[in-house]
Amino acid sequence: MPGLTALAVRAAKHPGGHDRPIRLADGSGLYLQVTPNGARSWVFRYVANGRERYMGLGSAELVSLAEARRLALACRRTLAEGRDPIEERRAERRRRAPADRTFTAAARALLEAKRSGWRNSKHAAQWASTLEVHAFPVLGPLPVDQIGTEHVLAALRPIWERVPETAQRLRQRIEAVLDYARAHGWIPPGRANPARWKGHLAALLPPPRRVKAVRHHPALPWQQMPAFWAALATRPGIAAAALRFAILTAARSGEVRVATWAEIDLEAAIWTVPAARTKARRTHRVPLAPEALALLEAMQPLARGPGSLVFPGAVAGRPLSDMSLSAVTRGMSFDGLAPGEPPRWRDPEGRAVVPHGFRATFKDWARAHGWPDHLSELALAHADKDKVRAAYARADLLEGRRPLMEAWAGFCASGSRP
């Protein structure tokens, strides 16, 4: 039978009438396969151990007739040596594959592969940040071929209703990472993607469009707090000191700005915020970690009596403005950057962080490190929405919260220690 020609390859079409691919023989086991949708590819047919096998040699759009013939010749030589071409190729792929086949390794490989195609640096940063903050803590160390639906749900559920837009992007990116891993042979080809939405997660999670989005303050991922703290420690001024105190105490910036020395008990290491100044209208006691006490001692030379402000503003007797702490964080995020560059300190969506967001950073850190949820809620002075439960839970567990705040302060400061 005469072989194919380059012209015949380009002109090859499926005859229609059925949905099976057709194969046009070139000879010696090489075929041009044409599917009903017009896709053309090369396959090599052979028999090994009494079993008929077809080995793909690539798309006809990318592999020429001459190159396909060379590849088929190499396959015939492999057969002549008593080896199976498909198994040889699989073994070669295994040899070339990295030993680390974890989700983190697959994600980093995908990000590198997509780097040249990013629209801009901000989009690339959002991709990486979303995975690092929400996927890596749960999926990161797991081999990709062991990741199941329960693992994907564990990454998605904490943010599915809180930030549905980010959660949907996270799901899509997890799916893309696992698809990439399968394409490179890290996952068996017949295994379904556990992050697939249609026909899978759609039955387990409410549709994102039906989840009422809550726009939260941009929060720094907790993993970046030590580095942020080290940068903040170099910023001079009372506003920067007030921001450090707000972070250490997980307090609202408004409570910090108007704090007075009368509320501070340095000996007992407690800051008592009056009920009139708390959102829940309930007195809130804060155990002060050694780092917070050291900061207060540095502010003592500015004290003008028990009723004076711990962090005085520029005008005598007046507190810092509500924009002063925001100005510190904004300066840290944007100072020295060219227009259009992503902020240095940003949330997974690429938004520059704000002071109030550090409370969420504290909460995420506490959860990630196994601290009981009720302790971190008390530390944040959150009111229990269950009225019956709140009526009986009257203790503020001050001493129970002290190890929590000391561990948080130690984590924050760990980035500025030698």
153 with 89, same domain: the answer is no
Q: Which residues contact 158 (CB under 8 A, 6 or more apart)?
A: 134, 367
pLDDT at 31: 95
pLDDT higher than 60, residue 308: yes
What is residue 393's predicted lDDT score, i.e. its pLDDT?
47
96, 122, 151 - which closes a domain: 96
Please report whether residue 305 resides in a domain: yes
Percent of the residues in the chain that have a pLDDT greater than 70, as a whole number:
90
* Residue 206, CB-side half-sphere exposure with 13 Å CA sphere: 13
The angle at the Cα of 245, spanning 242 to 247, to the nearest 5 degrees, equals 110
pLDDT at residue 119 in the model: 60
pLDDT band at 97 (very low <50, low <70, confident <90, very high): low
User: DSSP letters of 289-320?
Assistant: PHHHHHHHHHHGGG--STTSBSSB-SSTT-BP
pLDDT, one tens digit per residue, over 226-260 is: 999 999 999 999 999 999 999 999 999 889 999 99
CATH code for position 338: 1.10.443.10
Indicate if 357 and 328 belong to the same structural domain: yes
> Percent of the chain having pLDDT more than 90?
53
CB 122 within 8 A of CB 130: no
Q: What CATH number should be reported for the domain holding residue 60?
A: 3.30.160.390
| 74 located within any domain | yes
Structural domain includes residue 1: no
Q: What's the burial of 310, exposed, middle or buried (CB within 10 Å: 0-12/13-18/19+)?
A: buried
Q: Tokens 């340095």 appear where?
A: 266
pLDDT of residue 211: 56
Q: Is 395 part of any domain? A: yes
Q: Indicate the residue among 96, 117, 139 that finishes a domain.
A: 96
The whole-number pLDDT of residue 307 equals 86
**Cβ within 8 Å of residue 242, ≥6 positions away:** 253, 256, 257, 311, 320, 324, 325
Are 85 and 157 found together in one domain? Answer: no
352-405 pLDDT, tens digit per residue, is 899 999 999 999 999 999 999 889 999 998 865 544 344 434 568 889 999 999
**pLDDT confidence of 411, banded at 50, 70, 90?**
very high
Are 321 and 185 found together in one domain? no
Identify whether residues 229 and 330 lie together within a single domain: yes
* 147-156, 210-219, 297-306, 371-380: least confident range: 210-219
pLDDT, tens digit, for every residue of 175-226? 999 999 998 888 888 889 999 999 999 999 988 766 555 556 888 999 999 9
Total domains in the fold of the chain: 3
Residues 155 and 87 grouped into a single domain: no
Query: Which tokens go with 45?
Result: 């047919």
Whether residues 110 and 62 share a domain: the answer is no
What integer pLDDT is reported at residue 222 of this predicted model? 93
Does one domain contain both 369 and 246? yes
CA atoms within 13 A on the CB side of 110: 24
**90-125 burial by CB neighbour count: b if 16+ within 10 A, else e?**
eeeeeeeeeeebbbbbbbbbbbeeeeeeeeeeeebb
pTM, whole model, 2 decimals? 0.51
> Is pLDDT at 116 greater than 80 in this prediction?
no
Answer whether residue 216 is part of any domain. no
CATH number where 159 lies: 1.10.150.130
> Exposed/middle/buried for 74, CB within 10 Å: 0-12, 13-18, 19+?
middle
Whether residue 15 is found in the same domain as residue 140: no
Do both 356 and 332 map to the same domain? yes
Q: Which residue has the higher pLDDT, 396 or 109?
A: 109
Q: Is 404 among the domain residues?
A: yes
Tokens coding 330? 């904004």
- Closest by Cα among 388, 364, 389 to 376: 364
**Residue 123 domain boundaries:** 103-210
**Planar angle of CA 330, 360, 382, nearest 5 degrees:** 125
Does residue 199 belong to any structural domain of this protein?
yes
Is there a single domain that holds both residue 68 and residue 204?
Answer: no
Using CA atoms of 133, 134, 140, 142 in order, give the dihedral in degrees to the nearest 10: 170
Indicate the angle between helix axes 65-80 and 85-96, nearest 10 degrees: 100
Average pLDDT over residues 86-103: 77
> Which of 96, 125, 142 is the C-terminal boundary of a domain?
96
- Average the pLDDT over 329-345 and give the result: 85
pLDDT in tens, 8-60: 999 999 988 888 899 999 999 999 999 988 889 999 999 988 889 999 998 88
Please, what is the Cα angle at 336 between 335 and 338, to 5 degrees? 110
Residue 264 lies in a domain: yes
407 & 330 share domain: yes
Beta strands in 246-365 (DSSP E): 264-265, 270-273, 284-287
